[in-house]
């Protein structure tokens, strides 16, 4: 069997396809005329992943959005017939003040920020069959029940309230373990999209939650959430750079340093210019937020377990002055990240 046949290309991509209301994303996809949607579909097709985790794609019960996007990717020459998504925590009403501002309203007081249920969810597209029955979904776990949870306190009491902490889930979007049946055997995708560690107050509610969403995978690898499936790959958007920006950087740094994992350090092909006031390697960056705002950061990750063989990796970030670079910029501020894997 050739190396190309042995290869499994795993990718993660924050598409930023989320819309302001239910049905709007489907409208944009099926029109086949929305420039951002078409750019996202072309970026996916060009990179030819065998399986890809998508973030910021609105969820609907019948997966109409995902199926329509799959068809657009196929129209550009890359077929991924299998899809999966579970409901995210975004936009689920709690009827409680979850952020301590004294009001009870969406989107701020949902289980996770969202104007409607399903806004900005996650989804999988795959060339290989997904064992949906065996998917493990940890998204309903209450945050304070997680080992060593950094739940916030204020004035020596739970923030924003004990009632809120009793229902507040850990996952901003979701934590799933998804079995995919490849030609070489089953592989397990540990998928997530953590919330940003900012937009809060001195209690650091979002920073603490982001920390625990990332560290959750260490609890999984420790066997605290049941049997550890193998081989596995952790992938998704941690919304945290290991050295630059706000947030508890030790969370992602500890995951990158875990000996049970390997960091392929995906990079762009062309060398990136050094960015002032940033300590990290710009070639590792995965998002082009405005330089006068959050700036460029490494926030998307693919971390295979130590038993897997990494053949190649990359961040799809063509030069902005190229046709491909303009397409990528039109699709999303985030860049698609991929890793080629093989195993015995």
For 325, list phi and psi in degrees, rounded to 5. Answer: -65, -40
Evaluate if residue 253 carries a pLDDT over 90.
Answer: yes
Across 200-210, average pLDDT: 95
CA of residue 109 relative to chain centroid, distance: 22
Q: 110: Cβ–Cβ under 8 A, 6 or more apart, which residues?
A: 89, 90, 91, 92, 93, 94, 98
> What is the predicted pLDDT for the residue at 37?
98
Across 321-341, average pLDDT: 97
Q: How many residues does the chain have?
A: 344
pLDDT tens, position by position, 4-47: 558 999 999 999 999 999 999 999 999 999 999 999 999 999 99
Six token digits for residue 334? 């985030």
pLDDT tens, position by position, 212-240: 999 999 999 999 999 999 999 999 999 99
The answer to whether 184 and 141 have CB atoms below 8 angstroms apart is no
Evaluate if residue 121 carries a pLDDT over 70.
Answer: yes
pLDDT tens, position by position, 57-102: 999 999 999 999 999 999 999 999 999 999 999 999 999 999 999 9
> What is the predicted pLDDT for the residue at 278?
81
3-state helix, strand, coil in the chain (%, to 5): 25, 25, 50
User: In sequence order, what are the beta bridge partners of 287?
Assistant: 297, 334
Across 170-187, average pLDDT: 95
The closest alpha carbon to 124, from 60, 50, 198, belongs to: 50
Across 121-138, average pLDDT: 98
The answer to whether 264 and 302 have CB atoms below 8 angstroms apart is yes
Helices (H), the chain: 3-6, 24-30, 35-47, 64-75, 162-167, 205-221, 250-257, 323-331
> What is the predicted pLDDT for the residue at 292?
85
């Amino acid at each position: 069997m050739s190396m190309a046949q042995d290869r499994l290309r795993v990718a993660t991509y924050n598409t930023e396809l989320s819309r302001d209301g239910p049905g709007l994303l489907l409208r944009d996809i099926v029109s086949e005329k929305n420039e951002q949607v078409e750019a996202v579909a072309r970026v996916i097709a060009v990179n030819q992943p065998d399986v890809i985790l998508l973030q910021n794609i609105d969820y609907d019960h019948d997966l109409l959005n995902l199926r329509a996007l799959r068809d657009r990717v196929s129209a550009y020459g890359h077929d991924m017939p299998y899809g999966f998504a579970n409901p995210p925590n975004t936009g689920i009403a709690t009827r409680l003040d979850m952020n301590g501002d004294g009001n009870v309203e969406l989107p701020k007081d949902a289980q996770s920020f969202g104007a409607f249920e399903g806004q900005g969810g996650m989804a999988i597209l795959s060339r290989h069959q997904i064992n949906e029955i065996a998917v493990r979904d940890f998204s309903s776990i209450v945050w304070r029940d997680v080992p060593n949870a950094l739940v916030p306190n204020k004035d020596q009491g739970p923030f924003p309230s004990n009632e809120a902490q009793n229902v507040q889930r850990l996952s901003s979007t979701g934590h799933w373990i998804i079995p995919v049946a490849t030609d070489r055997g089953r592989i397990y995708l540990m998928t997530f999209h953590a919330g940003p560690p900012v937009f809060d107050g001195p209690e650091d509610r979002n920073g603490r939650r982001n920390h625990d969403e990332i560290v959750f995978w260490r609890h999984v690898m420790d066997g605290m959430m049941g049997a550890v499936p193998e081989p596995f790959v952790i992938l998704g958007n941690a919304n945290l750079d290991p050295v630059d920006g706000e947030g508890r950087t030790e969370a992602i740094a500890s995951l990158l340093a875990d000996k049970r994992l390997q960091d392929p350090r995906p990079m762009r092909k062309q060398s990136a210019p050094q960015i002032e006031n940033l300590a990290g390697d710009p070639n590792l960056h995965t998002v082009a937020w405005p330089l006068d705002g959050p700036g460029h950061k490494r926030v998307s990750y693919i971390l295979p377990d130590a038993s897997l063989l990494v053949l190649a990796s990359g961040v799809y970030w063509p030069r902005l002055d190229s046709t491909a670079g303009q397409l990528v910029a039109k699709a999303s501020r985030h860049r698609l990240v991929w890793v080629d894997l093989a195993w015995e």
